[in-house]
Structure 1
């Protein structure tokens, strides 16, 4: 099943709820670009991403390919802050994505609960 996103603008952040599966570097890139576009469209820099029902089934190489393409677009320079609650089934891949994005200077952190993610995001 492809992925979907629901966007809910809040006063201090945007809530993005993902569902489905990301199965390729191209899909991860599309998800990321869409997320960045939503932030820009709503003039927000803080994103609370609820991906508890979105699985990410990629190889480390696919994550690296997608992240390289993202950072060629200079998303780290946009000042975005991502607090991501990941799917329990793909927790290890979510940690790898966090490490990869953080190593490229993105403000990106994964969490196991929405409460923890929101507290970090608004701190």
Structure 2
């Protein structure tokens, strides 16, 4: 299964709706690089990542590598806020990613509802 992403700009934040199979550090890193590129171009610092249609299948080593790569690229210094929605079957994988990214100074939070995520983004 492929991995696809749709971007929509809102006032004050970017919506990123993804679907497919996330099965490698390279795919996840490319995903984040595109988000950072779009945010940097628009001057934005807030993103809602809707991953409810994503099958997450990356291991701890891959997640840690993506987080380290983002740190090396200076992403934490940009102050980007990532609000993330995940499907219940992959919630454990998403929670692991949340912990890994937050341990690397990224503002990455999982939310159970879109309304809660948007409220946090726009606060």
TM-score (norm 1): 0.95
**CA distance, structure 1, for counterparts of residue 11 and residue 66 of structure 2:** 30
2:35 aligns to what?
Answer: 35
In structure 2, distance between residues paired with 1:89 and 1:41? 34
Kept after mapping to 2: 8 A contact 1:9/1:42: no
What is the distance in 1 between the residues matched to 2:21 and 2:35? 16
TM-score, normalised by the number of residues in structure 2: 0.95
Q: What are the residue-to-residue correspondences of 1:26-105 with 2, within 5 Å? A: 26-105=26-105
How far apart are 1:102 and its partner, in Å? Answer: 0.6
Partner residue, 1:17: 17
Q: Distance in 1 between matches of 2:71 and 2:2?
A: 24
* Structure 2 residues not aligned, in runs of 5+: none
Runs of 4+ residues deviating >3 angstroms: none
CA RMSD of aligned residues (A): 1.0
For structure 1, the residue ranges without an aligned partner over 5 or more in a row are none
Give the deviation of 1:109 after TM superposition: 0.4
Cα distance in 1 for residues equivalent to 2:95 and 2:18: 17
Match of 2:4 in 1: 4
